Structure 1
Amino acid sequence: MENGTPAEEADVKKSIGPRPRTPIRDQQRLDPSEREAIIAREAVSFFAEHGFEGQTRELAKRLRITQPLLYRYFPSKEALIERVYQEVFVGRWKPSWEKLIADRSVPLKTRLTQFYREYAEVILTYEWIRLFMFAGLKDLGLNARYLKMLRERAFERVIEEIRFEYRRPSTREVPTTVIEIEMVWGLHAAIFYLGVRQFIYSMPLEADVSSIIDAKVTTFLGGIRSVLPAKL
């Protein structure tokens, strides 16, 4: 990215920083479901900033509530972390992506490009990337659960569609190979790394995300044919 004006640079910093805090406003008459949602949202922001080592008493202070009140809604830190996982990693997954990948009325390259553009809009955020990295470092098991879901809902479908495109055996006839999965991992990881550069290394991207994804999908499809099973 070329050097911009001070105002533009300030906008970039705002875009990659933590979300503004949202303290609970009315402690006396707040609806319980609303209070729970506010706690969960603030926990997402808090753990993204401080990692999962962050203490619940500090989160309560940030919310302007007592720690015992926080535990009335989430009886343990583990329960709160699970809610964060559901909010960020499960809740932001769109089932429509699975239909998009498998829609053979649309050219495969178009489908994959659209899927990864939409997926990037969800994951290339300060909260998503940092929470995923912190969860991995803490070894909470959240990453393994998410990546299992990703393989089942996306990777296996991508491989099936690639085989169909190149007239290779279905995965029902010849099981998915380790190398095929690794190739899809390579594409996926390259897009995930765009977020690492921005929100872990604080390195702004030098091209727009859509252009980068277009290039990576094109390169991926140009090389995947060589590792597919032979035609029957």
Structure 2
Amino acid sequence: MPALPASKAPSPQRRRLSPADRERDIVAGAVAFFAEFGFDGATRDLAQRLGITQPLLYRYFPGKDALLDRVYQEVYQSRWQSEWETAIADRSIPIEERLKRFYRAYAAVIQTYEWVRLFMFAGLKGLDFNSRYLAFLRARLFERMVIEIRAANGLDETAPVSEEEIELIWSLHAGIFYIGVRKFIYGMPIPADPEADIDVKVNAFLNGAPAAFASVIDRAKPARRKVAARK
């Protein structure tokens, strides 16, 4: 008796999703895909990974640039919490504690596989993710931090924020971000207790930054007096 032909395994069916859910599914898949392969990854490969056709992907995002912009919004804009800005300015709490609380919460957002790798890939690819986000940080966080550190140390809050002060803030911020680079780019060990590491970094920064801020403000006073005299 001849053997019966083997039955074919049923092909997986595409999930039926609402348009809003389908868009969220595409964005989440794109974040994971580009974090793994970089921004040279092809949209046809992304569509295949998502189990959809490329034309369907383009129905939601008319081109790769539009998709990348949505990835930026998802990873960098939507995860920022405006409450952090309010907390940094809350002078009822010592500045040391404010910075520690902020960076503990912020590190939980940025020290992730997707956040770190997308940021690094964007820089290598020449995308504007980095410049957009860093400008955002300066306007929403760094200048505010300078003023609050000045206030906590009896320094002039009205003097213009200088590039030297911003660079000092960068030194703290970059040190915390670099923990994620060590883990997700270099595959190197990181501190066993991330919050304790943040506390040490903040303490070290605040032990030196106020004196450096005071020096910068003092050096700028003659130039400000000359400008005021000309008015």
- When normalised by structure 1's length, the TM-score is 0.86
Work out whether residues 168 and 230 of structure 1, in 8 Å CA contact, stay in contact via their aligned partners in 2. no
Name which of 177, 185, 188 aligns with 1:200.
Answer: 185
1:29 positional shift:
3.2
| 1:77 alignment partner in structure 2 | 64
Structure 1 letter corresponding to 2:46:
L
Matches within 5 A, 1:29-44: 29-44=16-31
With over 3 angstroms needed to count, the CA separation of the structure-2 counterparts of 1:104 and 1:28, relative to structure 1, is closer
Q: Does 1:219 align with 2:204?
A: yes
Aligned residue pairs total 206
| 1:13 alignment partner in structure 2 | none
1:177 positional shift:
1.0
Structure 1 letter corresponding to 2:26:
I
1:30 positional shift:
1.5
Q: Does 1:188 align with 2:183?
A: no
Structure 2 letter corresponding to 1:174:
A
Q: After the TM superposition, list the runs of 4 or more consecutive aligned residues in structure 1 that deviate by more than 2 angstroms.
A: 25-29
Structure 1 letter corresponding to 2:169:
V
The structure with the largest alpha-carbon Rg is: 2
Name which of 147, 151, 157 aligns with 1:160.
Answer: 147
| 1:9 alignment partner in structure 2 | none
Over aligned residue pairs, what C-alpha RMSD do you find? 1.5
User: Percent identical across equivalent pairs?
Assistant: 56
1:178 positional shift:
1.2
Name which of 137, 145, 169 aligns with 2:132.
Answer: 145
Using CA pairs below 8 Å that are at least 6 residues apart, which structure has the higher relative contact order? 1
Work out whether residues 116 and 184 of structure 2, in 8 Å CA contact, stay in contact via their aligned partners in 1. yes
Matches within 5 A, 1:10-89: 27=14, 29-89=16-76
Structure 2 unaligned segments of length 5 or more: list them: 1-11, 222-231
- When normalised by structure 2's length, the TM-score is 0.86
1:212 is paired with a residue whose SS is: helix
1:28 positional shift:
6.2
